[in-house]
Amino acid sequence: MKKVLKGASIAVAIIIVLMTALYFALGLYYVGGFPCFTWINGIYCTGKSVSEVNAELLKSAPYDGIAIMDKSGARLFVSSAETDLTMDYTGALTEVYRNTDPLKWGLYAFKNLTCEYEPDVMLSRDKVAELVSDWEIFIDPSDLKCSIVKTADGYVLENAFVSLPDKEKVIDKVYESMQSRQSVLDLSNCEECYKELDIRSSDRDKVEVFTKLDGLQNCNITYDLEGVKVSLDKGKASDFILTQRDYDAAFSEKVSKNNPGLGHFIIAGEEKELPEKEDIKIVEGIVTDSEYNPIVSESKIYDFLKNIADSHDTSWMMDEYRKGVSSTIIVNSSSKGDGVVFDIRSEFDYLKDLMLSGTMSNPEERELKLSENAVVYDANEKLGKTYIEVDMGKQMLYYYVDGELNMDMPVVTGNVNRSRGTPTGIYPVYNKRYHTYLRGVDYVSYVNYWLGVNKGVGIHDANWRSKFGDEIYKSDGSHGCINCPYDSVEVLWDVVDIGTPVILYY
């Protein structure tokens, strides 16, 4: 038993000696290189020399250069090769090598010797400066002209309160960023890279005019026209400002009941007459008074609203109905030839008051009210898909069958200048007559084809006329009936049934 124990002890001793010898042998094997279990920047370094590891690190993390972005969106790429940039990990690697003992590799197996180091970066600042200096963002301040410019979004002031990139500061920032191997540099995050440009005394009048002008154009109103949205934004409100090109026409404006804005102007919060030429100043094409107050044309405000109403009239609503967009049809009940269905006068007063206050409103939505003569119809109920349409503004008659245009013709309607305008509205054809006489207080007329529409007003031929359409109705119109060419009304009379709806509007 003692012999067995003695033999086992000897065997253990031999194993310990062999393992110790192997441990020291491995340690001695790695003398001249990094010890076991050494990782630097993700590179396994065991047994490798400083120069070998340096080469691997440089290969694993190349640096091509830096992409630079300016506030304006301009970009510039500076290549590391063009700046003679070199990198070297030798200093850091040498320090690690000197502070490690190859005979302690067993300890490193448990500690896991892992290091992260940055290389020493060297590059030419002169070459960085040369490459960056040619970038287009560097502008001579004397080349920047302050100006008021008209755009689709209204007037803007250019080159007044401008910050320009400081060339030396930008070069320093690029140089420092490349030293730390940054791949992207956003100059908008670098306040010290920009300097504010002082406003020249010669430009101060432009700044003053724009400040006042911007308050007048800063509008954001959305109009609701029976479900249709129309906006009044800065781009449209800026058109109210009087320009040099408009001055002569504005000066000759005469006050009119039809356009309450004619001959009236808003200057510095007051409604005034337009100053004489010698009393105005022109700044960047904008007309101002002697105190650099921009001038607002009230007639332009009214024209804007009138254009909205004219482009959303009954004719437009009929088109929307045929497209299946809406069944609402609004007709001006007046027979005086005024087809406007929205109350633009009250909205004109509202906008004028805003302009007089000197600043336009915050974002708001307004409903454009209907005029006092407006009558609202449901086209699905009143017209259906087969009907006669008489657009007296265009002096045209259209006949639709099942929603499709079947025929059209030019017409002559009531003489509006003699207060004989054709009545507006939706009426059914109430009778059909052939070869009949029309009698009035001062006339008797023979017609071949007659479609009665409303009381004594009907659709008929007029063999005494050689021309139809255009604006004949204003001076040589009928007594209220719808005069039609013989050949066309003959066909219409033949196909139209009593009860067919007829819509009449200006």
pLDDT tens, position by position, 356-409: 987 666 789 999 999 999 999 999 999 999 999 999 999 999 999 999 999 999
pLDDT band at 107 (very low <50, low <70, confident <90, very high): low
What's the pLDDT at 25?
Answer: 55
Average pLDDT value over all residues in the chain: 90
pLDDT, tens digit, 9 for 90 and up, residues 223-242? 998 889 999 999 999 999 99
Query: What is the Cα–Cα distance from 175 to 66, expressed in whole angstroms?
Result: 10
Give the residue-averaged pLDDT of 95-104: 69
Whether the pLDDT of residue 146 is over 80: the answer is yes
Q: Which of 136-140, 228-232, 414-418 has the lowest mean pLDDT?
A: 136-140
**Which domains does the chain carry?**
206-308 (no CATH), 310-505 (2.40.440.10)
pTM of the model: 0.69
Under a CB-based contact definition with an 8 Å cutoff, are residues 437 and 444 in contact? yes
From residue 170, alpha-carbon distances to 89, 136, 188 in Å are 28, 13, 11
- Residue 141's pLDDT is what? 77
Mean pLDDT is lowest, of 99-103, 109-113, 117-121, for: 109-113
Secondary structure, 3-state, 162-207: CEEECHHHHHHHHHHHHHCCCCEEEHHHCHHHEEECCCCHHHHHHH
Measured CA to CA in angstroms, residue 219 lies from 65, 130, 151, 292, 309 at distances of 47, 48, 15, 21, 19
Tell me the per-residue pLDDT of 184-237, one tens digit each, with 9 for 90 and over: 999 999 999 998 877 777 788 999 999 999 999 999 999 998 889 999 999 999
Model pLDDT for residues 59-95, shown as the tens digit of each residue:
998 999 999 999 988 999 999 999 999 999 999 888 8
**Helix, strand, coil percentages for the chain (3-state, nearest 5):** 35, 30, 35
User: Residue 411: is its pLDDT beyond 70?
Assistant: yes
Judge whether 283 and 160 are in contact, CB under 8 Å.
Answer: no
Block residue for tokens 């045209």: 396
Question: Token digits for 184?
Answer: 């992207």
Contact (Cβ atoms closer than 8 angstroms) between residue 384 and residue 498: no
Q: pLDDT digits over 267-289, tens only?
A: 999 999 999 999 999 999 999 99
134: three-class secondary structure by DSSP: coil
pLDDT for the residue 310: 94
The pLDDT score that the predictor gives to residue 423 is 96
What pLDDT score does 176 carry?
Answer: 96
Q: What are 313-338's pLDDT values in tens digits?
A: 999 999 999 999 999 999 999 988 88
Give, as one character, the DSSP assignment of residue 246. G
- Identify the pLDDT of residue 134: 92
What angle is formed at CA 95 by the lines to CA 89 and CA 99, rounded to 5 degrees? Answer: 145
The C-alpha torsion from 54 through 55 and 59 to 61, rounded to 10°, is 10
pLDDT at 11: 61
Tokens of 76: 């510039």
